[in-house]
Amino acid sequence: MKWSEVRQRFPDRCVLVEALKSETRGKERVIEEMSVINDFENGNAAWKVYKKLHAENQTRELYIFHTKNEEIKVIEQPYIGVRRKV
């Protein structure tokens, strides 16, 4: 499903999606095809389900977006890790 289709099908909702077809262009992750896992009234409910699914399988490419956004933009940032004093 394309983002325009998601917006039309789930107006004014938070959606938890899985990227089915995506690629990195520069520092941006471009999601071309996605599957809607669920829709929610607010981001807090979506975040709870996201955390559960991510804990079960960290290889899935999951995102939470709000359909009020005409476009989605995901900026990739390198994982620095946890720093601690030695």
Residue 86 has a pLDDT of 62
> What is the rounded distance in angstroms from the CA atom of residue 83 to the CA atom of residue 5?
41
Q: Which token pair is 68? A: 């009020």
Longest Cα–Cα distance of the chain, Å, equals: 52
The model's pTM is: 0.87
Amino acid at 69: N
Q: What is the pLDDT of residues 31-75, one digit of tens each?
A: 999 999 999 999 999 999 999 999 999 999 999 999 999 999 999
Question: In the structure, what pLDDT confidence band is assigned to residue 83 with cuts at 50, 70 and 90?
Answer: low
Does 85 have pLDDT greater than 80? Answer: no
Cα-based angle 14, 61, 21 (whole degrees, multiple of 5): 95
